[in-house]
Amino acid sequence: MVKLRNRHRSLIRKQSQVPDDIDSKMNESRAFVELTRYIEEAVTSGTHLFKLSEIHSFHVTRLTELNINKQVNKTRLKDRLLEKFPEAQEQSYGKNSVLVFKEDMKNIVHDVVKTRNFSEDALILSKAAMIVRKDILSHKGFTFTGSFSAQCQEDSLPSSLKPLVSMILNGSNLKDQNKNDSHATLTIGQTIVFNTKKRTSHSADKPRHTLEREPPLPIYTGMNVHALSRSKTLIQQLFHMGICISYDRVMEIEGWIATSSCERFRKDGVVAPACLRKELFHSWRPGQPRS
């Protein structure tokens, strides 16, 4: 029995670590792609020499911004870059190692960017859509329990969707990235998740959404609009636009919150604000030392 419990505990631990591993691998790949894009644009602009120490510093800084704290070996990073750019050469100047790109590398990069293959572009877009869609449908989404945690927006999005939206908005150059995912990135990402469906609905007039893909933004938007306007028509218009949850869903959540609050009042034996948190205040009697 003890062995069975230990095996079960080990399985649960591995399952809980899987999303973190996926996020880390995706962010590591994202950081390297942004680094290579930075080098390509720099070469196109006329820069042909890069200090390995500076490139390494840029890469480590970007990994830290993506919440990845790990040691990056300079030699391995150099080998990956040389594999990515076979035209580049490694040279040593004293204690410094540099990567030198040939003069004609600028023309090569320019020609690659200028020549566009629409069939190849369509194939790339199709593959990207399949990857992101698969991650959205398999991602363990947000579950509303009465409040919104600080990281609920970031946690509601799969690891592949955030970098894709960020690269569309900001480009893929390392120097153009924000330290954290912007509000616009999180907003667009949650809207995509909210409107993603396993099967296409045959009735375009009646949009349908599932609780499995109900991120914080559409819930907050629907409840906030109702609190400010009390307008069913406005909420339904936003719902049909794919921006917030339906009016019926808003009523369901508000009814659940009201019922939960009443049960708490009954349990505590006192009526207090629902936002009042525990262990912030304590009773004081005369003669008792103040803390």
Range 53-59, long-range pairs (CB < 8 A, 24+ positions): 53/96, 53/97, 55/81, 55/99, 58/174, 59/31, 59/32, 59/35, 59/174
pTM exceeds 0.85 for this model:
no
Q: How far apart are the first and last CA of the chain?
A: 48
- Residue 71 is classified by DSSP as -
Domains detected in the chain? 2-115 (1.10.10), 152-268 (no CATH)
Instruction: Say what the pLDDT of residue 43 is.
Output: 85
Question: Which parts of the chain fold into alpha helices (H)?
Answer: 2-44, 52-65, 74-84, 105-114, 118-138, 152-155, 161-170, 183-195, 216-229, 232-240, 247-268
Q: For residue 108, what pLDDT band results from cuts at 50, 70 and 90?
A: low
Q: Is the pLDDT of residue 256 over 50?
A: yes
Q: What average pLDDT does range 56-77 have in this prediction? A: 90
Amino acid 16: pLDDT: 45
pLDDT at position 5, please? 59
- pLDDT tens digits for range 6-45: 565 555 555 444 456 777 888 898 899 899 989 988 888 8
What pLDDT sits at residue 18?
45
Q: What is the pLDDT confidence band of residue 242, given thresholds at 50, 70 and 90?
A: very high
Q: Do residues 109 and 223 make contact, with C-beta atoms less than 8 angstroms apart?
A: no
